[in-house]
Structure 1
């Protein structure tokens, strides 16, 4: 009897090992990729976390959002690498299951209640809608369950405990170190519309041959004699109904997206002076070098940020004595706050005002600096990497 069942058991074991092997590779690579993509831009992922904090009334975590982003990205990378290497199988299996269930809840909540437009699973590199993310997490959960069920079959690729411990330490340091580095020194790869080489004016218009979103407008109309109320599309309304005096429009029309069109990369950049005048075109078409210092909220600058801003201001002031350039400070802070900072620090920078959303996309640093010429982003620096006067002269101004 025992002999008869042996081939069946062996076949079941082989099937389980094949399913486990594929699941480990798929889930491991996916977690590593997802973690690396977000760790490339932890500040951006931190902004996404703030959207979730707002939904769940956890705004008190906003100041820690970037560090939490670094933590989450690091954990994803660690779980993915440990899964592939076969390290800490029980902890990794539990970690994958709990994290996937948590993401599944978030994506479902975002999609069902329409509270967050993009989940941020793969950062700005691969934007996914909440429903797309939810479906992705459902599929992922199937493979994670396989890993969890057969976790006892996982064997470490490195048998020596000492070497395994050393490799684990290096993996942890690398996983968290990537996010910390990019938080201070800007992303390795910039997926944002204000990346180096992009021309801002060109990204503010619809390219030739491209179609924008197509909407259908719904009118609610009422018959004056019969009191009949019905809804018609804008096409139906314009097809003779508007000429019939017996019908009148009730309230405002509603819109419905019919066809998704080309999304203009920079649709919302408006630069205003203290009086509210729009100076966007004047600034982004300037043929000379523009040093654009970005500080989304100047009232949230730390002491280290103030020191960095002072160094940037001093360097630009020294350059301005020898070169024809313009220096700006863009902020979303109220004018009185910006004026106070300007007076306290004796800023050489002209202050202009922009909504926080485009400012956060310009440079992932507060403060950060863009070098523009004729609307093209020549170079970007964080508050730490902004170069000296001599380095700027050699690389740009002295040419």
Structure 2
């Protein structure tokens, strides 16, 4: 589905609801106002619902925004605002749940005409908030590397590679929109938002005030519990991400890489270094005339290419590094045997400290020298001597360790007893941290590393348990709903 199809569908639903309100209920004071209420209400309910299915996706997106905003404001006169964003990041999941529930409830209130003045102002403020986020995403494409967002005089030509957050997450993982389209969408929503504020008394109202209030509260409570379940207690009921059950990562990754390699150049956009003049040349024309555009005078600003036959997804970024920082991706994806793939996008600890520990080194010490003719033989003996080294000691979160000690490790031990190997992949940690964590959690199998965003995309659980074979995801589980290995063996391992 694309945005056009979605808008047409929502428009059709809004049209039917408008007829129902006007013809059957006779509650409308303005056909236009009723249609706008229904259109924006259905839009907010839908966009909120696809995010409610996967609240962690919105939480992770907000973490990206908070990190970029902290950096952006930290270099300006508004630096006093910067400390707010790390604090918000610590509560990103709660923030995401509140935002999702508020969006859907606001959609319901628009349909019902509940508390018209409050609804009108709340809708305007939420649209302004969304416009700020999508505008920041899109406009950072004009901000060159090393330039702060607020240094407007140093903005340059638009380059999508410069965008700090590449996707606004308006419709979660259900529908990905270009940042520019998302920004324009929110600008368009400001029109009905302003109409609601200045004409809220003309908004239709359905049912009695008491019924409207009851509906709003029931929806609020139900949605909050639904979001909490999907964020903390279980995996999303619908998986919109590319790493869903049944996907063959190796095959899809190969298809995406081949499609990317087979893209053809359509045109080049050139900029004159002296006059700042822009010229767009079709590829074939450029090949004929490139001598007229020497690199000393012209630079390539943009290369337009054909769309890949297979759209790129996060699967293209699936890269796993072994304990020695070597790429073990193909080794993992080509494993013909079933294996347990444990995903940890982040390790939780309260702090760390440096300690000096003593290690024993074995050294060879010469004892004597024997000379026989022209041959010289040196005899050595091995001595063990102590050496002081500095070591980082981590204060691990006990509740997080217990997820492994009580759930993951016993599961992997049962798997090992049935000749099924396990592998843990950790994000955002160096070798020293990983080794210390393995020891604290009682993990004996191999630990690898990967990009934390990739790991968040694979499974919405920390840790998350994925069963793989020959590059295919057979199934995956939240650690709170991990079945026994005997059940897994019976259902998946022949």
Please indicate, yes or no, whether the TM-score normalized by the shorter chain is above 0.5. Answer: yes
1:85 corresponding residue in structure 2: 112
CA contact (8 A) 2:401 2:440 kept: no
1:212 corresponding residue in structure 2: 263
CA RMSD of aligned residues (A): 3.2
Structure 2: unaligned runs, 5 residues or longer? 1-25, 71-84, 142-163, 350-395
2:37 corresponding residue in structure 1: 24
Structure 1: unaligned runs, 5 residues or longer? 1-12, 223-229
Q: Deviations over 1:168-190 (max 9, x none)?
A: 22111122222211112121211
1:104 corresponding residue in structure 2: 131
Change (3 A) 1:195 1:219: same
2:59 pairs with 1:46: yes
2:214 corresponding residue in structure 1: 166
CA contact (8 A) 2:55 2:97 kept: yes
Take 2:325 and 2:123, find their aligned partners in 1: how far apart are those partners? Answer: 51
1:258 corresponding residue in structure 2: 304
Take 1:221 and 1:249, find their aligned partners in 2: how far apart are those partners? Answer: 9
Take 1:239 and 1:151, find their aligned partners in 2: how far apart are those partners? Answer: 62
2:361 corresponding residue in structure 1: none
Identify the range of structure 1 (351-360 vs 54-63) with the bigger mean alpha-carbon deviation.
Answer: 54-63
Structure having the higher strand fraction is 2
Take 2:27 and 2:459, find their aligned partners in 1: how far apart are those partners? Answer: 51
Q: Deviations over 1:267-296 (max 9, x none)?
A: 222212111222111111212112111001
Provide the secondary structure at the position in 2 that maps to 1:36. helix
Change (3 A) 1:167 1:302: farther
Tell me the number of residue pairs that the alignment of Structure 1 and Structure 2 aligns.
374
**CA shift for structure 1 position 219:** 8.7
Q: Deviations over 1:237-262 (max 9, x none)?
A: 865978x9xx9855997562303522
Take 2:245 and 2:484, find their aligned partners in 1: how far apart are those partners? Answer: 20
CA contact (8 A) 1:305 1:383 kept: no
Task: Mark the structure with the bigger radius of gyration.
Answer: 2
1:150 corresponding residue in structure 2: 199
Q: Deviations over 1:133-177 (max 9, x none)?
A: 12111222222233333322345423262x444322211112222
Q: Deviations over 1:11-42 (max 9, x none)?
A: xx999610111011100000011111111111
CA contact (8 A) 2:267 2:280 kept: no
Take 1:106 and 1:232, find their aligned partners in 2: how far apart are those partners? Answer: 31
2:393 corresponding residue in structure 1: none
